[in-house]
Amino acid sequence: MQLLKIFDPVTNGLRHKINIKKFLFSKNNRILRNGIKGFQQNKGRSKKTGHITNWHKGGGRKKIFRKINFENKGYNSLTVIVMYDPFRKTLLNLNFDLERHRFFRTLNIESLFPGTLTSCNYNPKNLMLGYRSKLLEIPIGTVISSISSNKAKTQFVRSAGTFGIVIQKDFHNVLIKLPSNKFLKLNVNHSFATLGKNSNSEQKFIKLGKAGSSRLIGKRPITRGVAMNPCDHPHGGRTSGGRHSVSPWGLPTKTGYKKKEKKNIKNKNV
């Protein structure tokens, strides 16, 4: 299903705009009113002092925060609808628990449509797309997402279009390749994962088209450090240089700072 919408260039703001067809997703939140945690807005400032804690953020439209089930408790559910979440790139599923008779939300898996049965079991009889289980039960070479470590909530591979691959497994540990090409080692009995790739992989093709769309999201204009005063940035003070590029807190930014691996000098053979 094609999710991208290319707008006709009626105005300058629509000339390069590409967005997702949100009318394909459900907007009905009456089923889960208790799962809505109220409105939230990007501020980028401390609640106590009012100082800027997150640069280039602020304003934006109010968004409803939706509670999502990231726990590993067992369930057998039916996917009711697919919905859009303004706080994350991945789409959401509205599931109905067939045993406890309650609704809850989970992250949507690509090619998982309404009417599909999903489950979370420690020892499943069979594994299908969207099923969640221990890494002990998942075979090598499987595409997985929403990985949790040590019985905790989901921590890894939650963004849109991302997935991990089970590379190696033994009786105690499993090696997973993450989307960042790094490798993660977890316990096979205490870690869980969902079979399949996260939905909305076409998110990377979205183009906002105009600055007003960025402001609605909560992104503010980026100010150069050399255009600031010395009290606001180390580059400030009407100078065109004189020092290496640093962050607003004085840490180097373009010299490979904190990117080199530390050498263990003690174990080196002299």
Predicted TM-score (pTM) of this structure: 0.80
* pLDDT band at residue 213 under the 50/70/90 scheme: very high
Instruction: With respect to residue 10, please indicate whether it lies within any of the assigned structural domains.
Output: yes
Mean pLDDT rounded to a whole number for the chain: 85
Rounded average pLDDT over 248-266? 74
Is 160 within the bounds of a domain? yes
Report residue 264's pLDDT band, with 50, 70 and 90 as the boundaries.
low
- Total domains in the fold of the chain: 1
DSSP one-letter string for 182-215: -EEEEETTT-EEEES-BS-GGGGG-B--SHHHHH
Residue 211 predicted with pLDDT over 90: yes
What number is the average pLDDT over the span 87-95? 90
Please check the confidence at residue 249 and state whether its pLDDT lies above 70. yes
Three-class SS of residue 52? strand
Is residue 228 assigned to a domain?
no
Tens of pLDDT along 108-158? 999 888 899 999 988 888 889 999 999 989 999 999 999 998 767 778 999
User: pLDDT over 70 for what percent of the chain?
Assistant: 88
Instruction: Convert the pLDDT of each residue in 170-208 to its tens digit.
Output: 888 999 999 999 999 999 888 999 999 999 898 889 999
| Residue in the block written with tokens 């000098």 | 265
Give the domain range for residue 55.
4-202
Residue 269's pLDDT band, with cuts at 50, 70 and 90, is very low
CA atoms within a 13 Å half-sphere pointing along the CA-CB vector of 222: 3
In a domain, 24, yes or no: yes
pLDDT at 241 over 80: no
* pLDDT score of 76 more than 50: yes
Q: In whole angstroms, what is the distance from residue 154 CA to residue 149 CA?
A: 7
What is the average per-residue pLDDT within 3-25?
87
Question: Is the pLDDT confidence value at 34 over 60?
Answer: no
Domain annotation covers residue 188: yes
The answer to whether position 264 is within a domain reads: no
**Quick one: pLDDT at residue 206?**
92
**Within a domain: 69:** yes
Measured distance CA(220)–CA(208) in Å, rounded: 14
CATH code assigned at 140:
2.30.30.30
How much is the pLDDT for 71? Answer: 85
Residue 219 in any domain: the answer is no
